[in-house]
Each structure stands twice: as structure tokens, then as C-alpha cells.
Amino acid sequence: MTDRHRTGTGRDTALRFAVRAWAAWAGGLQTRQDWHAWAAAPHLPPAQPESPALPQMAPMLRRRLPPLGRVALAPAYACVPADAAGGAAAGVIPAIFASRHGDTGRLVTMLSELAVGDALSPTAFGLSVHNAIGAVRSIDVADPGNLQALSAGRDTVETAVLEACSLLADGAPEVLLVHYEAPLAAPYAAFADEAEALYSWCWRLAAPRAGEPCYTLALADGRNTDSAPPPGMPLPHGLEVLRFMLAGEPRLCHRGESADWQWQRHG
């Protein structure tokens, strides 16, 4: 990673980035005003809201998407101007789709069909892989650019930012980062280790300009890394990160599976 996208030296190296645009979607929370009000008084969105309409997507592709796919793509379309969606312009903006669990409901359905000897639907199988939702968007907007899909347990959001900053350091002008989650399907619910909700958000990340407000993400030293959310506000980590950004808070700490992380706002 080049010096223009990091701060510090040695083990104190931090990723530095700006959020040029953002959008988010959850039950009852679609507009920017909705989300700013939520950041001031956060609550857990409902687990099964009505799916977004996605009028921007071609109807044939939209019909193929499962509910989680619609939720994931709603902020992605909102975050990219219509005149930049597709063709060579969009091809230079890599996209990262990050979800810790993906669509476990679809997985359980397919496993149940296999258990009784039923044949799997090729469409259902094709849309079950972790990069499927991002790929459907790429097809719809004719975007030949770099597409990544990742899952990294409790470090998923941080790993996605690391990937995005690496792409910026390699010369990408911006990176589209989409994070989405849904509650675990019933057979896996006992393994949930954080609050759950159906939600998604999208950031357009870029290298900070001089004097522009920006953020850093760094490995913490292992001390004071447990965030202390206000009482009565259990949130999935992905929504904690979104609230940190929207509320203008100076710092967010997170204890992941593989590392301890510290987010900071500058400016």
C-alpha cells in the first residue's frame, strides 16, 4: 500500500480513505433523512421488511433476484449516478460485495431438497454463490470492471475496507463497497453471536483530497477495543459502522475474530 493511502509507520500503519457517496436500505429506512434520524436514535430494523422495488434494474434480471439480493442492490444503484452505470465509465470503478453469511435461507432450501432427493434448480444454485448478487448487477449495468465478493466472519466489514484501500492504492479512482446481511436461517440461528437484521449499505470510497474529511482504519493494540453501545441498542457490527459514519463519532473500536480494529474520523 502506498503512503498516500496510509498513515504511520511500521505496525502503526492505518488505512486512510474518504466516503464520497453513501446509501443504505432497511425496513422503514430508505432515505438519507431516515438514516440520519436513525443514527441519532438507533434501533434494530425489522427482520422481514418489504423488499425494495429496484426500478433501475431490467425486469428480467430483477425477477431472478431473491429478497436479499434486492436489499443488497438498492443502495448500490442509489450510490452510482445513472449516467455512470455501465460501459467504460463504470468499468474503472471496482466493486466489492461483502456479507458475513450471505443468503442462508436459500442454502437451507437447497440442502433440504437434496436431502429428499429432489433436483436442484440451476437458477437457485447459480444465485446461491457468494458473488451472485454483485454479478447480476454487473450484467444489468454492463459493467466489465473488477468484482470481488468476500466473507471474513466478524472481520468482514474491515476486510472489505482493506480490499477497497488496496484497489485505491493500485490506481482505482473510486471503489464501490456494498455490505449486506440478513438474519440466519432457523437451523443456524443458535450460532448467531450478534444482533441480526436485514439491511444493506453502500459507500463510494476514494483516496482523501487535501483538507477533505476522511477516516482511518487500523489494527488496535488489544486494549480498550470493545465498543460500548448505548443501553438498549444492540446492533449488528455492520450497522455499528454505518452509525459511526453517519453520527460523526470520532472513534469506533471492534474486536473481530482475527484482529482488533480501530476506526477514526478526521476532519
Q: Which domains does the chain have, with CATH numbers?
A: 3-266 (3.40.47.10)
Mean pLDDT of 72-89: 71
Average pLDDT taken over every residue of the chain: 86
Q: What is the pLDDT of residue 120?
A: 80
Between residues 225 and 34, the one the model is more confident about = 34
For residue 191, is pLDDT > 60?
yes
Asked if residues 134 and 147 have their Cβ atoms less than 8 Å apart, the reply is yes
Lowest mean pLDDT among 1-5, 201-205, 211-215, 226-230: 1-5
pTM, two decimals, is 0.88
Across 109-123, 148-162, 209-223, which has the greatest mean pLDDT?
148-162
Q: What is the pLDDT of residue 8?
A: 41
Torsion of CA 262, 265, 266, 267, to 10 degrees: -170
For residue 89, is pLDDT > 50?
no
Q: Tell me how far CA of residue 77 lies from CA of 103, 125, 243, 254, in angstroms.
A: 20, 24, 21, 29
For residue 140, is pLDDT > 70?
yes
For residue 104, is pLDDT > 60?
yes
Mean pLDDT of 94-100: 97
Across 191-195, 240-244, 257-261, which has the greatest mean pLDDT?
240-244
> Of all residues in the chain, what percent carry a pLDDT higher than 90?
66
For residue 81, is pLDDT > 70?
no
Q: Confidence band (pLDDT; 50, 70, 90) for 1?
A: very low
Between residues 89 and 55, the one the model is more confident about = 55
DSSP character for 253? E
Closest by CA position to 56, among listed 33, 73, 34, 31:
73
Closest by CA position to 264, among listed 238, 245, 240:
245
